[in-house]
Structure 1
Amino acid sequence: MTRRSRLDRARSFVRNRSRVGLRRSQSSVLPAVQITVCAVGAYAFAEQVLGHEGPLFAATSSLIALGFSRDPRLRRVLEVGIGCTLGIAVGDVLLATLGTGLWQAAVVLFISVLLARFLDSGTIFTTQLALQSLLVVLLPAPEGGPFTRSVDAVIGGGFALLITVLAPRDPRREPKGDVRKLLGELSGVLRENSRALTDSDSTQAWHALIRARNCQPIMDGLSGSMRAAAEVARLSPAYRRHRDELGELGGSIHFIDLAVRNSRVFSRRLTSVINHAALSDDAVHSLAEMIEDTADAVDVLALALSSSTTTERREHLRRAREDLAAVATRLHPARLNVTRLEGEGLVILYRPLVVDLLESTGLSHEDAAGYLPKL
C-alpha cells in the first residue's frame, strides 16, 4: 500500500468518524442539558439546603441514574440509592470488625462484590455497593456521619426522577425509530431472498440469513427503549395519554420479533432449495414476486408504526394489513406453481412469517391465519 493510499484511508476514516460524532452530539444536546441541570441542581440542593459539605454523591448519582442508558430510570435510581446505603452499612460493619488498611480494603471490596451479586444482578447496584464499602474503609467519614453519602445519593436519584417526569422529550420517539430500523432490516432480508431466488444464488440467501441474525442487537435495543418509554409514560403526567399507544406498539413488536426469527428459518431453507435446484422457472418467478410484495408491505408497516399521528398510523396499518392479506391468500404451493416436496416445504415455512406480520397490524391469530388457503 502506497503512502498516498494510506493518507486517503486515514482522511476518509477521520471524515466518517467526525460525521458520525457530530450527528451523535447533535442528537444528545437535550439529554446533555437535562443531565447538567440535574447534577448541578442535586449538588446545590444538598449543599445549600441540607448543608452537606461537598456532596459529590448527589451529583454523581444523578448522572448515573439519568445517563444515556436505555434501562428504566426508576430501577437505576433504586440501584444507586439502595446500593449506596447497603455499601455504607457493610463497610461500617467490616470496619468495626477488621480495622483499616489495604488488606482490609481488599477483603471489604471482595465481600461487597459477592454480596451485591447475590442480592441483585444489576451492574449499577454492584458498583455502588462495592464503591461505598471501599470508601468507608479508605476515607474518613464526612461531617454528619457516613450515611450522609447515602442521603446525597437519594437526592441525586430524586432529581433524576424529577427530570424524567418533567422531560419534554416524547417517550415514543426512540422506540418508533428503533422499530422502523428493525422493519427496514426485515424488508432488506426479504428483498435479498427474492434476488437470491431470481439469480439462483444460494450465497446471497446465506447473506440474507446473516443479516436476519444481525437483527438481534436491534431487537435488544428496541426492548430497552420500550421499557424506558413505558416508564416515562407511567411516571410523567404529560405523557400518560400515550400509554395505550405504547401498549399497542409493544404488541406489534412481539410479533415482529417472531417474524424476524421466522425469516432466519426461511432464509436457511431457501439456501438449500437453491442449491438443489428444487424450483421450476415459474415457481421461482411466483415466489420472488410474493416475497417482494411482502417486503413492500413491511415498508408500509414501518411507516404505520413510526407515524406521529393517529390518522396516519391507522391508514398505513390498514394498507399494510390489506397487502399482507393479499400475500397470505397466495400461500399455497399450487398457486405458486410449486410442485416438488422441497419447494412445498419452503412455502409452508413462509406461512407463519406472514401470519406474524398480520398479527403485528392488530389482527388476532385466528383472523390472520384465516387468510391462509387450506393445504
Structure 2
Amino acid sequence: MRTRLRRVRHTALAIVQSALGAALAWGIATGPLIGHDRPFFAPIAALIALGGGLGQRLPRVLELVGGVALGVLIGDLLIVWIGTGVVQIAVIVALAMTVAVLVGGGAVIVTQAGASAVLVVTLIPPTDGEAINLDRFVDTLVGGGVALAMSILVLPLNPVSAARRQIDPLLVTLAQLLEESARVLAERDRAAASQNLVQARATQGDVDAMHAALEGANEVAKIAPVRWRKKGHLRDYLDAAVPLDHMSRNVRVLCRHVIGLLRRGEPVPQVLPQSLRALGGALRLLRLDLERGDEPGESRTSAVAAARMATEALEHTGGFSGQVVVAQVRSLAVDVLHATGLGRDEAQELLPAVPEGPVSYGNE
C-alpha cells in the first residue's frame, strides 16, 4: 500500500494537469470565442498530450498533438468525399498514417494519426450533403494548445523532483550492490555473488530511464518560466548523470570479478570489503547531498577513504581478479568525485598513489 500511495503522490501532478487541461479545453471550445456544441476532440487532444507527455521532452508532446490533429484533419476531409463503412475506414486510416510518415513523423505521430482518423469516421460521421467541417480539427488544436500551456506555463513538472525520482533509486541500488559485494567477499558466498551480478546488470534500464528523465527535466527548466529558479539545483543532478552511468558499468565489472576472485580462491584482505562498504556509504551520502543541494564534502571524503583502503589491499590480493576489484573501487571513487562536481585532475589529486605495475584503472 505504501508503494501504491507513493505512486499516486508521484503522479499527482499528471492527474491534476490532465483533469484541468481537459476541462479547460472543453470550456474554451464551447465558449463564446469558438462556440462549438460538442467539442469532443478538444479535451481528448489535451488528455492525450498531457497524459503521454508528462516528463517527456517537448518534441514528444508536439508529436502527440500533431498526430491527433493530422488524423482528425484527414478524416474530416475524406469522410465527406468517400463516406463511411468498412472499406472507407481502411482507406482513411491508411492515408492518415501515410501522410504522417511523409511529414517525417515518428511512431507516436503515425499511431495517433491513425487512431484519430478512426474516431472521426466512427464517432460522429457527417450527415448526407454536409460540407467539409473543420470544427473537430479546430477543437484538436484547442486541446493541444491547452496541453502545451499547462505543461509550460501553468503547471509544469518540477524538474528537480523528476530528476530525483530517477537518480535516488539508482544511487541506492548501486550502494546496495557494493555493500552486498563486500558481504559476499567477506563470507566467500559465491551463490550470492552470482545473484548480485544479475542485479547489477539489470541497472542499465534504470540508467536509460535516468537519461530520458533528465532530458525532459532540463527542457522544462529552460522553457517553463515558473521553473527557471530550479536550474541551479537541477544542474547538480545533470552533472552527476554521466558519472552515474560510469558507476553502473564499473559496478557490473566489479561484481563479475568478485565472482572470479571467489572461484579462483584468491585471498581477500580484510580491508577490501571495508573499502566497498565505504564506497557504498559515499553513494548514500551523495544522494543526500544532491537532495539538499549541499556541498558534497562527506561523500568526497568517503570516496577517497574507499580508494585508500582498496589501494592498501592491492599488495595483498595475490591474483588478477583481486587486482581488478581494487582497480574498480578506485575507478568508482573517481566516478563519485566527478559526480560531486570535481574535474578529472582534481579527482586524481585526491586519490592515493598506486604502486607501479601493469594494472589498468578503468575510468581513471
TM-score, normalised by the number of residues in structure 2: 0.84
The amino acid that maps onto 2:182 is S
In the alignment, which residue of structure 2 is the partner of 1:160? 147
Unaligned runs of 5+ in 1: 1-17
CA separation in 2, counterparts of 1:32 and 1:241?
24
CA separation in 2, counterparts of 1:289 and 1:335?
13
In the alignment, which residue of structure 1 is the partner of 2:28? 45
2:62 is equivalent to residue 62 of structure 1: no
Counterparts of residues 173-212 of structure 1 (less than 5 Å): 173-212=161-200
CA separation in 2, counterparts of 1:133 and 1:219?
37
Does the CA-based 8 Å contact 2:261-2:319 persist in structure 1? no
In the alignment, which residue of structure 1 is the partner of 2:226? 238
Does the CA-based 8 Å contact 2:279-2:329 persist in structure 1? no
Counterparts of residues 268-287 of structure 1 (less than 5 Å): 268-280=256-268, 283=269, 285-287=270-272
Counterparts of residues 222-371 of structure 1 (less than 5 Å): 222-280=210-268, 283=269, 285-307=270-292, 310=293, 313-314=294-295, 317-332=296-311, 335=314, 337-370=316-349, 371=351
In the alignment, which residue of structure 1 is the partner of 2:360? none
Does the CA-based 8 Å contact 1:330-1:372 persist in structure 2? no
SS state of the match for residue 7, structure 2? Answer: helix
Alignment deviations for residues 40-92 of structure 1 (CA, whole Å, 9 cap, x no partner) = 11111011130123111110111111126544363344223322343245446
CA separation in 2, counterparts of 1:77 and 1:150?
17
The amino acid that maps onto 2:222 is R
SS state of the match for residue 353, structure 2? Answer: coil
Unaligned runs of 5+ in 2: 357-364
Q: Which piece of structure 1 moves more, 176-185 or 262-271?
A: 176-185
Residue from 46, 65, 77 that aligns with 1:81? 65
Does the CA-based 8 Å contact 2:41-2:140 persist in structure 1? yes
In the alignment, which residue of structure 2 is the partner of 1:150? 137
CA separation in 2, counterparts of 1:264 and 1:32?
37
CA separation in 2, counterparts of 1:332 and 1:28?
45
CA separation in 2, counterparts of 1:327 and 1:39?
53
TM-score, normalised by the number of residues in structure 1: 0.82
CA separation in 2, counterparts of 1:39 and 1:117?
28
Post-superposition shift, 1:341? 3.1
How many residues align structurally? 348
Post-superposition shift, 1:22? 4.1
Does the CA-based 8 Å contact 2:275-2:307 persist in structure 1? no
Does the CA-based 8 Å contact 1:105-1:134 persist in structure 2? yes
CA separation in 2, counterparts of 1:334 and 1:19?
42
CA separation in 2, counterparts of 1:326 and 1:149?
65
Does the CA-based 8 Å contact 2:96-2:113 persist in structure 1? yes
Post-superposition shift, 1:287? 0.8
The amino acid that maps onto 1:191 is E
Counterparts of residues 134-149 of structure 1 (less than 5 Å): 134-138=118-122, 139-141=124-126, 145-149=132-136
SS state of the match for residue 86, structure 1? Answer: helix
The amino acid that maps onto 2:192 is Q
In the alignment, which residue of structure 1 is the partner of 2:359? none
TM-align CA RMSD = 2.8
The amino acid that maps onto 1:120 is G
With over 3 angstroms needed to count, the CA separation of the structure-2 counterparts of 1:341 and 1:73, relative to structure 1, is closer
SS state of the match for residue 272, structure 1? Answer: helix
Post-superposition shift, 1:340? 2.6
The amino acid that maps onto 1:212 is A
